[in-house]
Structure 1
Amino acid sequence: DILELMRQANFMTVFVGIETPEEDALAGIDKKHNAAVPMYEAIETLNSFGLEVTSGIILGLDTETDGSEQKLIDFVDKSAVPVLTMNLLQALPKTPLWDRLTREGRLLHDASLESNVLFKRPHDDVVASWRRAIAHAYEPAHLFERFKYQVERTYPHRIKTPLKGKLTRTNLRRGLILGFNIALRVGVLSDYRGVFWKAAGHALRRGQIEAVFNMGFVAHHLIRFTREALRGEHNASFYAAKADQAKEVRTPWWQAARRFLPT
């Protein structure tokens, strides 16, 4: 079984392009295979082999309704996927989507917009749904609750690798620096330190020290990114012309995050 082989090879994370939890929407974008196995069942299966799922989500699909936002939020909570990249639909050149939207007259060339797609729903409504969805997903209590689920249902299924060869002076130094940064920035200075320590205690009681490092580091950057996005400092689509303009005047968050890593 390939999943067992991945577990034995110490795979820890797998990216799944879920796109949307709505099956009719998947059919509309020719991705019915995403629902070949019920989504929650598929995620639980991956978790049972020690694989933490990260997923890609797209908003602005043609089949979206006013109820799609709540369905997405429900999916975030029920699936317990910690990290989800939520983007507005963006048409890239030389793709079937680009060609179809061109034929339909729905390809926009306005760099001030969050996407180059003329959505079926009002543009501002789609952007507002994106903002509310990321705000919910990365509200600290919700995010750490999903990490606690991983501590219980995913991480215990991983094969523990021997420490021999890992406890080098360099690795210990890096671990101490990273641990200090997490303890200071997340455990002391952040306004969500309470929920962090609850989740950290949950992991430590189960002997999962690495999980504390992981959730602290990842949560810090996800929460910061979300708050910046809600202030309008990040675009709702990473591929939009508006986002390209913003990149010229600031460092992307995922590159800026590197300054917190030990060297």
Structure 2
Amino acid sequence: MKILLVYPETPPTYWSFKDALKFISKKAAEPPLGLITVAAMLPKDWEKKLIDMNVSKLKDEDLLWADYVFIGAMNVHLNSFREIVRRCNKLGIKVVAGGPLATTQFDDLLGVDHFILNEAEITLPMFLEDLEKGSPKQVYQSDEFPDISLTPVPLFELLDIKKYASMSVQYSRGCPYDCEFCSITMLNGRKPRTKSAEQFIRELNCLLELGYKGSISVVDDNFIGNKRKLKDEFLPALINWSREHNYIYNFITEVSINLADDDELMSMMIEAGFNSVFVGIETPNSDSLAECGKSQNLRRNLVDSVKKLQRAGFIVSGGFIVGFDNDTEKVFDEQFQFIQQSGITNAMVGLLNAPTGTKLYKRMKSEGRLLDMFSGNNMDASINFIPKMNYKTLIRGYSNLLHSIYSQKEYFRRVYEFLSEYRKPEWQSGKISLREIKAFLRLLWLLGIVERGKKYFWKLLFLTVFKYPEKFTTAMTLAVYGYHFRRVIRTV
């Protein structure tokens, strides 16, 4: 068999970091971990090629080479996914699809020969067995959650590693919390399942052998879902590995805000090489937090929790949502004030949506408020249900909020707030690479000369040089992110 694995093109979003990537001459932020993991589960004697449309073009000759085209996609990839399937149908190439998009919306996707739904560790072997017998079915699905300690090492060698800003690995799947709007527990369950420390380190060693150096994104639903196992088994092993390899990798991951309650866990994560976390803040409105079941964010001072993470050594990015039933017109100012006070520079604000199959989706359907298909794009200002707030008021307030927090004045003010709290991890090298020097020269040109409002950039540069010289690289990185965010919100 000849298998072509195709990852669809991601539209411009917060997470694409498309404009930021230009500074470091990279094509995409992260590789398609799901697809290269699936590739490792296919028979070893099959030929495999990968086309990530975010880093290279998909040509007809690539499609015609293949016996099957495997597409792995998230909801945000819907338009690109449909175009790939259309091209395959036109050329007579069979299509196999999986991932969150297929799992939640396969009834709406035409032209696909076989759907491998849920987690591939269970459903892919079913398909392969039937394929060998010559009688594959169209849909394979399961309500079981696999033991991921048996998942093979992803085929990182299929990637053109130099085109990515970071690599991706996974330690766990699932989240103990069950927020109404979130599809994680539906897809991966509430009981976190983990790989072994040895298994995770095997993947790091594989990346090391391929010559990769840089950032690694640990793409867990909630990295701290099983704190005891982290402290007793995983982090001690990763700390030893990171020390032995002179902290060649720094790690980024997603956590819940209650990480701030555990000093030991924060300290161990920093010592292991973690220096950046994404936290779902959602909203400072306690009624809206209660509405969506975000219990871990209630009964705490969220700003204090964020600052505690920053002082521990974490760069904190935050997810924010407007459009809850309990949101009033005051929410836009409340969100603005919170974001500014917290010093969360990368504040990713989206409209509330109801992903297919979530508790929110079911509630909106029962209340007769559900609209069309979920786009998965947090930057297209779409909403798939009828909000309680007047729609025009919601859209106007959302747009004003984005343009306020990402105005140069307010963004750089947030960077100052962050720098005043942030404590750089001791292991972080002060050495500047050739790539960073080139990125800095581009930064000086675009933000210091070409872009309007350049005075804010120069003020940050000089303040950092004289007041926080050890945080200079971090400050300049955040300046690049700000440039990306200003550009990505232009159409909102």
TM range (shorter): 0.7 to 0.9
1:131 maps to 2:392: no
Question: Which residue is 1:94 aligned to?
Answer: 357
Compute the displacement of 1:27 (Å): 0.5
- Matched letter for residue 158 of structure 1: P
TM-score, length basis structure 1: 0.79
Question: Which residue is 1:79 aligned to?
Answer: 342
Alignment: residue pair count = 222
Report matched runs for 1:1-263 at 5 Å.
1-109=264-372, 114-154=382-422, 156-162=423-429, 171-172=433-434, 174-205=435-466, 206-207=468-469, 208-226=471-489, 228-230=490-492
Equivalent-residue separation in structure 2 for 1:140 and 1:162 (angstroms): 29
Equivalent residues of 2:415, 2:475 under 8 A apart: no
Compute the displacement of 1:215 (Å): 2.2
Q: Tell me, what secondary structure is at the counterpart of 2:473?
A: helix
Compute the displacement of 1:101 (Å): 0.6
Q: Tell me, what secondary structure is at the counterpart of 1:66?
A: coil
Equivalent residues of 1:23, 1:32 under 8 A apart: no
Question: Which residue is 1:236 aligned to?
Answer: none
Equivalent-residue separation in structure 2 for 1:187 and 1:12 (angstroms): 27
Runs of 4 or more consecutive aligned structure 1 residues displaced over 6 Å after TM superposition: 110-113
Equivalent residues of 2:323, 2:394 under 8 A apart: yes
TM-score, length basis structure 2: 0.43
Q: Tell me, what secondary structure is at the counterpart of 2:448?
A: coil
Equivalent residues of 2:355, 2:361 under 8 A apart: yes
| Structure with greater proportional helix content | 1
Q: Tell me, what secondary structure is at the counterpart of 1:12?
A: strand
Equivalent residues of 1:203, 1:211 under 8 A apart: no
Compute the displacement of 1:183 (Å): 0.5
Deviations 1:48-71 (A, max 9, x none): 101121111111100011211111
1:161–1:57: structure 2 CA closer, same or farther, 3 Å change rule?
A: closer
1:2–1:176: structure 2 CA closer, same or farther, 3 Å change rule?
A: same
Compute the displacement of 1:148 (Å): 1.4
Equivalent-residue separation in structure 1 for 2:322 and 2:370 (angstroms): 16
Q: Tell me, what secondary structure is at the counterpart of 1:177?
A: helix
Larger radius of gyration: 2
Structure 1 vs Structure 2 CA RMSD:
1.9
Q: Tell me, what secondary structure is at the counterpart of 1:55?
A: strand
1:113–1:86: structure 2 CA closer, same or farther, 3 Å change rule?
A: closer
Equivalent-residue separation in structure 2 for 1:36 and 1:11 (angstroms): 27
Q: Tell me, what secondary structure is at the counterpart of 1:183?
A: helix
Q: Tell me, what secondary structure is at the counterpart of 1:229?
A: coil
Name structure 2 gaps, 5 residues minimum: 1-263
Say which structure, 1 or 2, has more relative contact order (CA 8 Å, 6+ apart).
1
Deviations 1:80-126 (A, max 9, x none): 11111111111111111111110000001289982111000111111
Equivalent residues of 2:327, 2:389 under 8 A apart: yes
Q: Tell me, what secondary structure is at the counterpart of 1:21?
A: coil
Equivalent residues of 1:18, 1:34 under 8 A apart: yes
Question: Which residue is 2:139 aligned to?
Answer: none
Equivalent-residue separation in structure 1 for 2:418 and 2:282 (angstroms): 21
- Matched letter for residue 133 of structure 1: L
Equivalent-residue separation in structure 1 for 2:371 and 2:331 (angstroms): 23
Q: Tell me, what secondary structure is at the counterpart of 1:15?
A: strand
Equivalent residues of 1:7, 1:159 under 8 A apart: no
Q: Tell me, what secondary structure is at the counterpart of 1:57?
A: strand
Equivalent-residue separation in structure 1 for 2:357 and 2:429 (angstroms): 48
Q: Tell me, what secondary structure is at the counterpart of 1:58?
A: strand
Equivalent residues of 1:204, 1:212 under 8 A apart: no
1:97–1:178: structure 2 CA closer, same or farther, 3 Å change rule?
A: same
Equivalent-residue separation in structure 2 for 1:145 and 1:94 (angstroms): 40
- Matched letter for residue 491 of structure 2: A
Equivalent residues of 1:10, 1:159 under 8 A apart: no
Compute the displacement of 1:160 (Å): 4.1
1:212–1:33: structure 2 CA closer, same or farther, 3 Å change rule?
A: closer
Equivalent-residue separation in structure 2 for 1:6 and 1:18 (angstroms): 20
Deviations 1:140-192 (A, max 9, x none): 011011111222211x34224346xx66xxx41x1222111101011110112
Q: Tell me, what secondary structure is at the counterpart of 1:151?
A: helix
Q: Tell me, what secondary structure is at the counterpart of 2:274?
A: coil
Equivalent residues of 2:290, 2:298 under 8 A apart: no
Equivalent-residue separation in structure 2 for 1:94 and 1:180 (angstroms): 47
- Matched letter for residue 364 of structure 2: L
